[in-house]
Amino acid sequence: MNQAATARLTGAIPTLASLSFEETIRFYGRLGFEVLHSDLTFLLLHRDGVRLSFWLTGNRRIPQATSCWLEVTGIAALYEQFNALAIVHRRGHLEAKPW
């Protein structure tokens, strides 16, 4: 069997910029993420098998220009949970999109 034909990617762990690991832990903790690892230069969080890693930066522009997509199930329930925490952007109403 051709190994190239069976090779495939099975996941990714985004590495995002953080201005403060303490603030990042507090915010993502409200979303249900827990700390897997934390040291002076690297932070790894997880929830429901999803992992997010962070590196520390002092440049505010980097995290402001960074994003990642998370695939979810039960989006309406998750939206309600996050909306109750007052973390949904005022223009972030849940709506169907073509993508």
**Statement: residue 11 has pLDDT above 70:** yes
Q: Annotate 57-81 with DSSP letters as a single string.
A: -S-THHHHT-------S-HHHHHHH
pLDDT tens-digit readout, 47-79: 999 999 999 999 999 999 999 988 899 999 999
pLDDT tens-digit readout, 86-95: 999 888 888 8
- Determine the Cα–Cα distance for residues 41 and 57; give it in Å rounded to an integer: 9
Q: Which of 22, 46, 31 lies closest to 81 in space, CA to CA?
A: 31
